[in-house]
Amino acid sequence: MNASQPVSRRDFLRKSACAVVGSVLAASGGAEEASELIIDIHQHCNYGGKRDAQYQQIGSARTDEELVAHQRAMKVSKTVMLPAGSPVIRPSTHTGFSNGLEGTCAGDESCMALAGAHPGEFYFGSNEVPDLEEAPATIEKYLKKGAVCIGEQKFGVECDSPQMEALYRLAAEYQAPILMHWQYGTYNYGFDRFYKMLERHPRTNFVGHAQTLWAHIDKDCKDDPKNLYPRGKITPGGWTDRYLSDYPNFFADLSADSGHNALTRDTDFIRPFLVRHQDKLIFGSDCSDKSGHDMTCTGWMTIRSVRELAASNKIERKLLCENARRVYRL
Ligand SMILES: [Zn+2]
Ligand SMILES: [Zn+2]
């Protein structure tokens, strides 16, 4: 499914749910409650722990109970949990550096278990290191168990490698979007030529995430691809803006510091950007704090920025709820 396809009855009912419940709440309470239905497509189990020089976890990370409390503090009603791949030592994991998604994030079983304990509130993705021989089979196993997406794909591989194309085909087959962490020189190489994959896999929904994706809303960023958190004024015409405009199967995840930086660095550019891509931008948090509110929580700040910058309530609803419902079929 993609943004250009006609709206099915099921999608229509989902869309209505985002808006109707909002107006019921608006009638009974304030503006805060009216905007309460929020879907978060980007969180992790066992997030935020420390690691030693061999990338082994030291001490504790955020617990499942703390994660659930964090999501409820952000007033998120549905959350997609993204697993890490298997911990392996090979070039695609930068000899272990990228295990646990470059941290302590847990794998498929943990995410599925959390979703199982909170039906209707938590969902899970399916993941594996893409150049492991068994990766497609492992990912398909969890898709069959109800995973709603593939990812977070955060590995040192070419974006047009045969191994990644096998995952793109699985994503199309199961109508499950694939979420990719774009970071120049480290994860998913070749953002400049990624349009070839968007063209070759039109039935696959791709959700872009992270530094290089957001840096490239700025055309001038091409002059220094290593600058992962560019600041200041944006020159229109970046690759990300073009991919979002030209390809109905390309979406962008607003999560993390990279997404928040993009929202806030040049509000004159970003206000029309949110209008232009109102059917393509999807809220995610990807933060490892325990509070779920105030300036300690990137997700909370991103929700606040979306509400400040969206040109209408309708667009705000799309970014915080409806686009996720449609693309993830929640
Ligand atoms: Zn993440
Ligand atoms: Zn947070």
CATH code: domain 9-328 is: 3.20.20.140
Element holding 282 (H helix, E strand): strand 281-282
Decide: 152 and 42 in contact? Cβ < 8 Å.
yes
* Chain centroid offset of residue 171 CA: 15
**Ligand of minimum distance to the alpha carbon of 295:** 2
Distance between CA 277 and CA 319 in Å, rounded? 9
pLDDT tens digits in sequence order for the chain, 330 residues long: 444 444 444 444 454 556 544 444 444 444 444 446 999 999 999 999 999 999 999 999 999 999 999 999 999 999 999 999 999 999 999 999 999 999 999 999 999 999 999 999 999 999 999 999 999 999 999 999 999 999 999 999 999 999 999 999 999 999 999 999 999 999 999 999 999 999 999 999 999 999 999 999 999 886 677 788 888 999 999 999 999 999 999 999 999 999 999 999 999 999 999 999 999 999 999 999 999 999 999 999 999 999 999 999 999 999 999 999 999 999
Q: Compute the distance from residue 152 Cα to the ligand 1 centre, in Å.
A: 6
Distance between CA 284 and CA 189 in Å, rounded? 23
**Residue 178 β-bridge partners:** 150, 206
Q: Compute the distance from residue 203 Cα to the ligand 1 centre, in Å.
A: 24
**Ligand of minimum distance to the alpha carbon of 154:** 1
- The stretches of 211-320 forming alpha helices (DSSP H) are 211-215, 239-246, 256-264, 267-276, 298-309, 313-317
**Ligand of minimum distance to the alpha carbon of 66:** 2
**Ligand of minimum distance to the alpha carbon of 296:** 2
Q: Compute the distance from residue 43 Cα to the ligand 1 centre, in Å.
A: 6
Q: Compute the distance from residue 302 Cα to the ligand 2 centre, in Å.
A: 10
Summarize pLDDT for 281-324 with one digit per residue, the tens: 999 999 999 999 999 999 999 999 999 999 999 999 999 999 99
Element holding 153 (H helix, E strand): strand 150-153
Q: Compute the distance from residue 102 Cα to the ligand 2 centre, in Å.
A: 18
Listed in sequence order, the residues at least 6 apart from 38 whose beta carbon sits closer than 8 Å to its beta carbon are: 74, 75, 76, 77, 283, 303, 320, 321
pTM equals 0.90
**Ligand of minimum distance to the alpha carbon of 290:** 2
One-letter amino acid at 141 equals: K
**Residue 208 β-bridge partners:** 180, 252
Size of the chain in residues: 330
One-letter amino acid at 308 equals: E
Q: Compute the distance from residue 141 Cα to the ligand 2 centre, in Å.
A: 30
What pLDDT score was predicted for residue 223?
65
What pLDDT score was predicted for residue 19?
57
**Ligand of minimum distance to the alpha carbon of 287:** 2
Decide: 67 and 297 in contact? Cβ < 8 Å.
no
* Per-residue b or e along 258-296, where b marks 16 or more CB atoms closer than 10 Å to that residue's CB: bbbbbbebbeebbeebbeebbbbbbbbbbbbbbebbeee
Quick check: helix, strand or coil at residue 251? strand
* Chain centroid offset of residue 211 CA: 12
Distance between CA 130 and CA 187 in Å, rounded? 12
Q: Compute the distance from residue 237 Cα to the ligand 2 centre, in Å.
A: 31
**Ligand of minimum distance to the alpha carbon of 183:** 1
Q: Compute the distance from residue 167 Cα to the ligand 1 centre, in Å.
A: 18
Provide the residues around ligand 1 (an ion) whose CB is within 5 A.
Answer: 152, 286
Residue 1 class from Cβ within 10 Å (0-12 exposed, 13-18 middle, 19+ buried)? Answer: middle
Tokens of 245: 């405009």
* Per-domain residue ranges of the chain: 9-328
**Ligand of minimum distance to the alpha carbon of 75:** 2
What pLDDT score was predicted for residue 230?
86
Q: Compute the distance from residue 298 Cα to the ligand 2 centre, in Å.
A: 5
Q: Compute the distance from residue 8 Cα to the ligand 1 centre, in Å.
A: 31
**Ligand of minimum distance to the alpha carbon of 207:** 1
Listed in sequence order, the residues at least 6 apart from 203 whose beta carbon sits closer than 8 Å to its beta carbon are: 172, 249
